[in-house]
Structure 1
Amino acid sequence: MSAVPAALAKAAGQLADPAVVRVMVKSLAVTLALFALAGAGLYLALAEVSARFGLDEAWAGLAAVVLVPLAIWLLFRIVAVAVLQFFADEVVAAVEARHYPALGTEARALPFRRDLANAVRGLMRALGYNLLALPVAGVLMFTAIGPALVFLAVNAVLLGRELTDMAWLRHAPPDDPISPVPAVERLLLGAAIAGVMAVPLVNLVAPVLGAAAGAHLVLRRLEQTSGAQR
C-alpha cells in the first residue's frame, strides 16, 4: 500500500505547528510580493508604451488589473514551489523533530547559492514541461477535459520530484543524488498536491503541505534504511 495517504495525513496534522506556520507565512508573503513587483513592472511598461504611442494611460492600468490575477492563477504553483525551496530546510527539520526524532540525522540548510540554483532549475523545468505540453493539450481541446488531464499529469511528475527533492537534498550524501522515494509515490504525491492547488484558498497551503508530505516519504525511507543497518 502506498505511503502517500499517510504522509499527507501527517503533513496536514502538522500545518498548525508554529515552525510550519512560519514557513507558510514567509513563503506566501515572498510569493505574493514577487507577483506584486511583477504587476508594478508590467503597469510601468504598459504605461511607457501608452505614452510612446499617445494612448490613454487608463488602458495600461486596466490591462495590469486583468493580467496580474491571470498570471497568479496560471503561475502560482510554479513560483510558490520555487520560493519554498529557500525555506524547505525548516519544514524538513520540523517534520523530523516531531515524527522521526530517533533517526539520528538532522536536515541541513543548503547554501543560498545552491537554494537559488535548485529554485531556478525547478522553475525552468516547470515552464519547459508545461510549454511542451501545450501542443498536446491543444490537440485534446475538443474533449474538454483532455487539456486539464494533460497538465495534471505533467505537474504531478514535476511536483512529485520537487517536493521530495526538497527533503532529500538536505539529507543526501554528496555521492548519492538519487531520491530513495519510488517514482510511483512521487507521482501520487504530485498528483494529490496538483489537485489541492486547483482549489481556491486551499491552494495557498498546498506547497507547504506537499513539502511536509515529501519530507515524510524521504524520512520514512531513511528510517527504514537506518533500521536495516542496525
Structure 2
Amino acid sequence: MSAVLAAMMKAIGQLGDRAVVAVLVKSVAVTLVLFAVAGAGLYAAIPLMAESEWFAALIPPVIGGPLLIAAMVLVALVAFWLLFRVVALMVLQFFADEVVAAVEARHYPALAERARPLPLAREVSLALRGLLRVLGYNLLALPLAVLLLFTAIGPGLVFLGVNAVLMGREFTDMAWVRHCGPGGERANPVPWGERVLLGAGVAGLMLVPLVNFLAPVIGAAAGTHLVLRRIAADGGAA
C-alpha cells in the first residue's frame, strides 16, 4: 500500500509540469466535447421520443409533459456520472504516452532512453480494447448491482470493485507497453494487489467533483511510477 500511496503522491506533485498540464487540458476538453455532443443529441431526441408510441407505452401515464422531460434529464445526468470514468479513461489512452514520457523524463531518465514510443495505430487499438473491457465488465456487473439495490451501498461497492481492477490494469499497462518489447513478452510486473489499490484510489477520486477531471492523469502517472520502479528494481530489464 505504501508503494501505491507514494506513487500517487509523486503523480500529484507532477501535475504542474507543462507536459502533464497539456495532457490534462486536452483530455478534459475532448471528454467534455464528447459529452456535449451526446447531450445535444439527447436533447434533440427527447421530443421525438416523447411523441413515439413505443416510448409512450413504456412510461406510466402519471409521468408526462414537463415531468417526463425532467425525468429524462435526471437519467442523462446519472448516465453522465456513471459513464464519465469510462469515457475519460478511453480519451486518456490517446494521450497516455505523453504522461508516461513526462514521468520517465523527470524520475527515470535512464529508462526513458530505452522506452519505445507507441505508434498511433497501437494507441487506438489499446484505447478501443480498454473501452471494450471497461464496458463489458461493467455490464456483467450490472445484474449483481441491481440485486443489491435494496442495500443502498451495494451497487456502489460492486462498481467500485470492478473498476478498481480494470483501472489498475489500464493505468499500469499504459507505461508497461513502452517497455515490454514489441511482442509483450513479459507480463505486467506490478503485483495484482498494487494494481487494485491504485484502481480503487483513482475510482474514489473520480467520485469527487472537479477532482474527477484530474483523476485519470493522476492514475496514469502513478501507474507509471509503479511499473518503472519494478523495472528499475530488476536492474532495468524489460
TM-score (norm 2): 0.85
1:157 matches 2:161: no
User: Letter of the aligned partner of 2:37 in structure 1?
Assistant: L
Aligned: 1:126 with 2:134: yes
Equivalent residue, structure 2, for 1:204 = 213
For residues 47 and 109 of structure 1, do their structure 2 counterparts lie closer, same or farther at Cα, with a shift above 3 Å needed? Answer: farther
Q: Which of 85, 90, 106 matches 1:82?
A: 90
1:127 CA drift (Å) = 1.3
CA contact 2:176–2:227 (8 Å) conserved in 1: yes
1:126, 1:85 → 2: CA distance? 13
For 1:193, the equivalent position in structure 2 comes to 202
Query: CA 1:52–1:147 in 2, change beyond 3 Å: closer, same or farther?
Result: closer
| Distance across 2 between alignment mates of 1:161 and 1:47 | 41
Partner of 2:61: none
Q: 1:70 to 1:149 in 2, by over 3 A?
A: closer
CA 1:40–1:60 in 2, change beyond 3 Å: closer, same or farther? farther
TM-aligned CA distance change 1:139 to 1:61, over 3 Å: closer
d(CA) in 1 for partners of 2:158 and 2:50?
Answer: 38
- Paired amino acid for 1:154: V
RMSD between aligned residues? 2.5
Superposition TM-score, scaled by structure 1 size: 0.88
For these two proteins, the number of residue pairs brought into alignment is 228
CA displacement at 1:105 relative to structure 2 = 3.0
Distance, in Å, in 1 between the alignment partners of 2:160 and 2:110 is 37
Per-residue CA distance 1:116-168 (angstroms, 9 max, x = gap):
22111111111111111122222222322222211111010000001111111
Match of 2:175 in 1: 167
**For the structure 1 residues 140 and 51, does the alpha-carbon distance in structure 2 shift closer, same or farther, using more than 3 Å as the test?**
closer
Q: Is residue 159 of structure 2 the alignment partner of residue 147 of structure 1?
A: no
Identity %: 63
Structure 2 match to 1:224? 233
Please give the per-residue CA displacement for 1:168-210, whole angstroms capped at 9, x wherever unaligned: 1122202325211111110110011111111111111000000
| Unmatched runs of 5 consecutive residues or more in structure 2 | 57-63
Q: What letter corresponds to residue 99 of structure 2 in structure 1?
A: V
CA, structure 1 residues 145+48, in 2 after alignment: closer, same or farther (shift >3 Å)? closer
For the 8 Å contact 2:101–2:112, the answer to whether it is kept is no
- For residues 169 and 104 of structure 1, do their structure 2 counterparts lie closer, same or farther at Cα, with a shift above 3 Å needed? closer
Q: Deviations over 1:17-49 (max 9, x none)?
A: 111011000000000101111112222333444
Are 1:30 and 2:30 matched, yes or no?
Answer: yes
Query: Deviation string for 1:51-96 (max 9, x for gaps)?
Result: 777x999899767744443322110000000000000011001001
2:189 is equivalent to residue 180 of structure 1: yes
Which deviates the most, 215-224 or 102-111?
102-111
Q: Contact 2:103/2:221 (CA < 8 Å) preserved in 1?
A: yes
3-state SS of paired residue (1:198): coil
User: Could you tell me which residue of structure 2 aligns to residue 42 of structure 1?
Assistant: 42
Letter in 2 for 1:6: A
- Kept in 1, the 8 Å contact 2:105–2:112? The answer is no
Question: Aligned letter for 1:114?
Answer: R
Give the aligned residue type for 2:39.
Answer: G
